Amino acid sequence: MTTAVYETIVENGRVIDPMIGRDGKFDIAINDGKIAAVEPSLRDSRALNRIDADGHVVVPGMIDTHAHVYRHVTGRFGLEPDLVGVRSGVTTLIDQGGPSCMTLGGFRHFISEPSASRVLAFISCYLVGGLEGHLYPELYGPNGVNAEHTIRVANENKDLIKGIKAHAEIGGQSRWGLDVIKIGAQIARETDLPLYIHLGQLWPTDESGRIPDAEELITELVPIMKPGDILAHPFTRHPGGFVSDTGEVHPILLEAVHEKQILVDVGHGSHFSFDAAKRVLEAGITPYTLGADMHGYNVTVPDGQSDAVRTSSPFFGVAPFNLTIAMTELLYLGLSLPEVIAMVTSHPAKLIRMEDRIGSLQPGFDADISVLKVETGKFQLSDNSGTKVASDQLIRPAFCLRAGITYEADSVFIPDAIAA
């Protein structure tokens, strides 16, 4: 009898794989960048390399559904992909609206192809894409959208483009209503891709235009959306989100999620509020996916990477965070570890229709694996409104494997633990 020989075995870890309901101690074997075997023990199998994950949680390679990594082209906004990706324990990044139909070629050649991380995108419905982090609202009106060109480019690049990005917020509403969202919905329909919609005020209102009304915005928005579309920033502290001025979750949003099958992405970023999160979760809305929404205006960027620094802007100033801090916050709010893991593995894989390849640790899948340390103690978490809480758990990335290659979690974007 011939004993199988594997390139790598990751052993002794607690494996959580929500796609197939697996949670227990398993060893994972890798050959040629693919998962070769998953067994309770592969101790007797031969391997060229053995990685001991004792005391760690081993999960499918994490997928960040809201990244901003179009360096240089989006100015100070775009971060270095691998610092957000593999060097933060994250194997797949989905850039939200950085590339447009005009700039996708550069995104593919200079960002996606050279990165160790898998880098995909939701293409912007705006011609300017994520230029300078959407700081200039006059560029984001209906005249800045070319539906025909965007549809063609998206359809020709389905390997890279997994959705359409647009904004629904009261600053834009005061200028042009929801005209851009309607065009975005057309693009999404004609490409058969999900539409990802930013909620929460982004731009100052134009008082010379129509008087903005957050309640009206939500009421008009939901009928435009189709099942499988995504609403981002449910826990936003800004006007025009899930929580109304009276502190209640909009009934039409409850209907959208529970009856119309509209999905929700956390989109942490500069928006996160513990108070809003509690209200939304108590109303019965649990996000489907968990995007970090890190960018050059809400993290401290290392010297030489960009000239971006953390700002004190009321829209961009945030507490230290990354994807695993956002995961920790959801644990604090009462979700279970497997529920949170699903938000960064199986759920986003299904969202981008790659659940036959990533998002699970099954033989034949890409050997994308994230290894986490769940620490216990008292750790301080803080939201973007200044609220501080004490969590008895903290999730930190240890390392990851992307297509079977190991990357240490040594990114400067991983925040230091703060004792409560």
Give the residue from 341, 328, 335 showing the smallest Cα distance to 370. Answer: 341
Q: Which residues contact 84 (CB under 8 A, 6 or more apart)?
A: 64, 67, 69, 90, 93, 117, 292, 294, 411, 413
Which residue carries 């992909």 as its tokens? 81
Asked whether residue 268 is marked as a ligand-binding residue, the answer is no
- Structural domains for the chain: 5-59+360-408 (2.30.40.10), 61-351 (3.20.20.140)
394-403, pLDDT tens digit by residue? 999 999 999 9
Predicted pLDDT at 169: 86
Predicted local distance difference test score (pLDDT) of residue 211: 67
Q: Does 362 score more than 60 pLDDT?
A: yes
Helix (H, G, I), strand (E, B) or coil at 104: helix
* Tens-digit pLDDT profile for residues 70-124: 999 998 899 999 999 999 999 999 999 999 999 999 999 999 999 999 999 999 9
- Determine the pLDDT at residue 317: 53
Angstrom distance (rounded) from CA 414 to CA 341: 18
**How many whole angstroms separate alpha carbon 127 and alpha carbon 136?**
13
- 198 annotated as belonging to a binding site for a ligand: yes
* 387, amino acid identity: T
Q: Any known ligand binding at 233?
A: yes
Tokens of 256: 């959208």
- How distant is the alpha carbon of residue 45 from its chain centre? 37
Instruction: Specify the pTM.
Output: 0.95
SS (H, E, C) 318-386: CCCCCHHHHHHHHHHCCCCHHHHHHHCCHHHHHHCCCCCCCCCCCCCCECCEEEEEEEEEEEEEECCCC
The reply to whether 271 sits in an annotated binding site is no
Contact call for residues 358 and 349 (beta carbons, < 8 A): yes
Give me the chain's average pLDDT, please: 92
CA geometry: angle at 231 spanning 228 and 236, to 5°? 160
